[in-house]
A and B are shown apart, each in its own frame.
Chain A
């Protein structure tokens, strides 16, 4: 069990004794970039926790702070109930398995494994026995005298794991340990790591960008993006009840659409109304709707259909077929099914109420802190914009500027825009794309568009003077 800062205080104090790692308000800034933004996390003793996120989300930095290779800019870290925020790595009760193994090339296998034990000044015979035992555990018996450079990637990783666990750490940190291995080897090692965790009973903190690996291994998954924790939960919670559209998109395949909550247990999306199980939204509240591709029933046209569509593509994926369909209203869905429907065929579709997952929208339009400069201009994102909605405000007034997602215009040439930025995240919403653009000022601007952009595209941004709405702060 793991909790973020939103957990109730009473609950935290009840659990305190069992938490092996607690991270409180840890932030890290490199230059201008916020790598970690107020991270709060606690890890229970014996748990297998996976920190999951795309590259550059801050997961490795977080692990390095726990290991002590990097000092946290702000915040507090305790391991085993002791404040270790300032403790150097060699005095922490944790050991690390590195992505590229980091075995000592001038030592053979058994001396690599004995490195930590030698530092503890154990007697020779004792060390020899421990090395033998741990080698047996990682199925590398008889490799004691081998040169580490003569081993394959998989074997080196086994030695790296052995070198870490032989010290009996309270926490084992694993930094993408399987990323450098081929698929088959990776699958085997996943099972072995899982079995090792059961057998040793120590806490594992595992960092990966591979969502499948996270789902397979973990008791708890921490999904991170852009230095923030997006969701903490068990693999089933994360998969079935993603907290936001980022998590839904990152974990598995999904159809994510804009919707409207008509009333409790009734949601409208893709031009149709569907029964669902979610409640507690205000009437007509805009929401994000997630439907997994395997949760849409596809069949020949009949009265049972909630809505209809035409198949536009169909690919055999081994166990199932992956089909793209388009509804008459112009929405696209991905569907996975054991039955194949031909391209061009009209089909009926149906979704069970419990398979529709409704999420609160994080925002319904862009909002920036702004300052009025004169009757026709407003300043935000480090730039002065022409604006038709400024008349009623005094110059220098501190206000909010609001812009609808679809009123932001992206330009191919960054020079054509008033400000420029990079496309940092793309979400397909069934009939349009929802882009996150990171401006050079370091702020995100969100854009709805029908045009196709690529991740990392450099764009110019313009905003129509009529599209900026001003409210008081």
Chain B
């Protein structure tokens, strides 16, 4: 009895959580303009999405989102990794301070980050557009990369880098051939995390995107909704994004589980 109650509780919780997304995915396979009308199975909305010209602004918003996501995730990965190595080599007291400073942007509300970046760009007189969005995304993604790389460094044998130097490797060679292979799993996790955060972001993007007509998915959907009624093509797009993020999440979790297993083995 207790088990049935527990199961139905978790079941209803999951249904409530995922029902909206499920409904969108189901209705992405029909042509109706209004969500909720089922006019028969169709892939029309999917084909519309990928047909150039039909919904030009939506697909360009998608491309902008992906490009901004990839560039800022890549740069964050590099900066975050270097920062993690730097933090690892600090004296304990300085390390604590820098780690604390690294955690502030993570806990800081998005709106504060957004406004402060907006003011910064305005006061520096940088015209807002692609560059400012990417800079903004890099600035809030980097701390997450630091958090995913730093544990790898802690786990690593502390003499590894020295052992490479000892065997005749230059500091750069030791970094490339010994340190980076050890950090790679953390870097990849950090990259994926940064990428999803960047795709997902709305508040910071809205404040730094300027008014030159540049749109990312989140700002496009927002503007679209304000105009009244969402374009039906958003349904297949949401479905695709959801499945992609789910896949990325599964990859991250799988990697974490594998790492855990390896650790237990030793």
Complex interface residues of chain A between 97 and 119 (CB less than 8 A to chain B): 98-106, 115-116, 119
Partner of A105, one of B169, B171, B182: B182
The answer, yes or no, to whether B266 is at the interface (CB within 8 Å) is yes
Contact between B168 and A102 (Cβ–Cβ < 8 Å)?
Answer: no
Q: Taking A105-B182, A149-B266 as contacts, is the C-beta distance between A163 and B167 under 8 angstroms?
A: yes
Closest residue of chain B to A95 (Cβ to Cβ) is B166
Residues of B within 8 Å of A163, CB to CB, are 167
Whether B168 lies near A119 (C-beta < 8 A) is yes
Q: In the complex where A69-B162, A105-B182 touch, is A116 in contact with B167 (Cβ < 8 A)?
A: yes
A100 near B157: Cβ-Cβ < 8 Å: yes
* Residues of A contacting B182 in the complex (Cβ-Cβ under 8 angstroms): 105-106
Judge whether A102 and B162 touch: CB under 8 Å: yes
**A102-B178 Cα distance, complex, nearest whole Å:** 11
Kindly list chain B residues whose C-beta atoms are within 8 Å of the C-beta of A106.
181-182
Contact yes or no, B181 A90, CB < 8 A: no
Q: Measured between C-beta atoms, what is the minimum distance from B242 to chain A in Å?
A: 35
Cβ 8 A contact of A104, one of B166, B168, B178: B178
- A170 to chain B: closest CB distance in Å? 13
**Assembled-state Cα–Cα distance A236/B17 (Å):** 78
The answer for the CA separation of A106 and B164 in the assembled complex, in Å, is 13
Contact with B167, one of A88, A100, A115 (Cβ below 8 angstroms): A115
Q: Tell me whether A95 and B160 are in contact (CB under 8 A).
A: no
Interface status of A167 (Cβ within 8 A of chain B): yes
Query: Cβ of A90 and Cβ of B159 under 8 Å apart?
Result: no
With a CB–CB cut-off of 8 A, which chain B residues contact A67?
162, 166
User: Is B163 a contact of A104 with CB atoms below 8 Å?
Assistant: yes
Set of chain B residues within 8 Å of A96, measured between Cβ atoms:
162-163, 166
The answer to whether A90 and B163 touch across the interface, beta carbons within 8 angstroms, is no
**Contact code string A81-95 (vs B, CB < 8 Å = 1, else 0):** 000000011100011
> Is B248 an interface residue, CB under 8 A from the partner?
no
The reply to whether A102 and B165 contact each other, CB–CB distance below 8 Å, is no
Contact A89 B165 (CB under 8 A): yes
B170 contacts the other chain (CB 8 A) = yes
Q: How far, in Å, is B265 (CB) from chain A's closest CB?
A: 8
Whether A100 pairs with B159 at a CB distance below 8 angstroms is yes
Smallest Cβ-Cβ distance to A100: which chain B residue: B157
A126 interfacial by beta-carbon distance below 8 Å: no
Task: Decide: B168 and A116 in contact? CB cutoff 8 A.
Answer: yes
Bound-state Cα–Cα, A106 to B171, Å: 18
| Residues of A with C-beta under 8 A to B160 | 102, 104
In the complex, what distance in Å separates the CA atom of A103 from the CA atom of B265?
A: 17
Question: Is A120 at the interface (CB under 8 A from chain B)?
Answer: yes
B169's partner among A90, A94, A102 (CB-CB below 8 A) is A90
Q: Name the distance in Å between A296's Cβ and chain B's nearest Cβ.
A: 45
- Given known A-B contacts A104-B178, A106-B182, A119 and B173 have beta carbons under 8 A apart: yes
Main secondary structure of the interface of B (DSSP, over half): helix
Give Cα A69 to B164, complex, Å: 11
* Interface range for A: 20 to 34
Q: Are A69 and B165 in contact (CB under 8 A)?
A: yes
Q: Chain B interface residue count: which class?
A: 10 to 19
Given A69-B162, A89-B162, A119-B173, are A102 and B167 also a contact pair (CB < 8 Å)?
A: no
For A115, the chain B residues whose CB sits under 8 A away are: 164, 167, 169
Q: Are B157 and A90 interface neighbours, CB within 8 A?
A: no
CB pair B166–A90 under 8 Å, yes or no, is yes
Contact partners of B165 in chain A: CB under 8 A: 68-69, 88-90
User: Does the CB pair A90–B162 fall under 8 Å?
Assistant: no
Question: Closest CB-CB distance, B258 to chain A, in whole Å?
Answer: 14
User: Which residue of B157, B181, B265, B266 is within 8 Å of A102 (Cβ)?
Assistant: B157
Q: Contacts A90-B165, A119-B167, A163-B167 known; A102 to B159 CB distance under 8 Å?
A: yes
Cβ-closest chain A residue relative to B156: A105
Task: Tell me the smallest distance from the CB of B93 to a CB of chain A, in Å.
Answer: 11
Of A68, A106, A120, most B-chain CB atoms within 10 Å: A106
Question: B residues within 8 A CB of A116?
Answer: 167-168
How far apart are the CA atoms of A164 and B168 in the complex, in Å?
11
Separation of A69 and B182 alpha carbons in the complex (Å): 20
Contact with A along B116-132 (1 / 0, CB 8 A): 00000000000000000
Q: Are A98 and B159 in contact (CB under 8 A)?
A: yes
Q: Would B168 and A90 count as touching, CB distance under 8 A?
A: yes
Flag B152-189 by CB within 8 Å of A: 1 or 0 each.
00000101101111111111010000100110000000
Residues of B close to A120: CB separation below 8 A: 168
Complex CA gap A270/B212 in Å reads: 97
The minimal Cβ–Cβ distance linking A71 to chain B, given in whole angstroms, is 13
Residues of the B chain whose Cβ atoms lie less than 8 Å from the Cβ of A102:
157, 159-160, 162-163
Q: What 0/1 pattern do residues 376 to 412 of A give for CB contact below 8 A with B?
A: 0000000000000000000000000000000000000
Q: A89 to B165, alpha carbons, bound, how many Å?
A: 6
The contact of A101 among B157, B178, B266, by CB within 8 Å, is B157
Kindly supply a per-residue 1/0 record for chain B positions 178-215, scoring 1 wherever the CB is within 8 Å of any chain A CB and 0 otherwise: 10011000000000000000000000000000000000
Chain A residues near B178: list those with CB within 8 A: 104
User: How far is it, in angstroms, between the C-alpha of A120 and the C-alpha of B182 when the chains are bound?
Assistant: 23
- Please name all residues of chain A whose beta carbon is closer than 8 Å to the beta carbon of B173 when the two chains form the complex: 119
| CA gap between A179 and B96 in the complex, in Å | 31
Q: Taking the nearest CB of chain A, how far is it from the CB of B30, in angstroms? A: 51
**CA distance in complex: A167, B168 (Å):** 9
Distance (Å) between the CB of B260 and the closest chain A CB? 15
**B70-125 with Cβ < 8 A to chain A:** none
Give residues 59-84 of A contacting B (CB, 8 Å): 67-69
Apart from A90-B167, A115-B164, what 19 extra A-B contacts exist at CB < 8 Å?
Answer: A67-B162, A69-B165, A69-B166, A95-B166, A96-B162, A96-B163, A96-B166, A98-B162, A98-B163, A101-B157, A102-B157, A102-B159, A105-B157, A115-B167, A115-B169, A116-B167, A163-B167, A164-B166, A164-B167
Query: Could you give 7 example pairs across A and B, Cβ below 8 Å?
Result: A68-B165, A88-B165, A88-B171, A90-B171, A96-B163, A102-B157, A104-B178
By Cβ-Cβ distance, the 4 closest A-B pairs, closest first, are A116-B167, A102-B159, A102-B163, A89-B165
Which A residues are closer than 8 A to B by beta carbons? 67-69, 88-90, 94-96, 98-106, 115-116, 119-120, 149, 163-164, 167
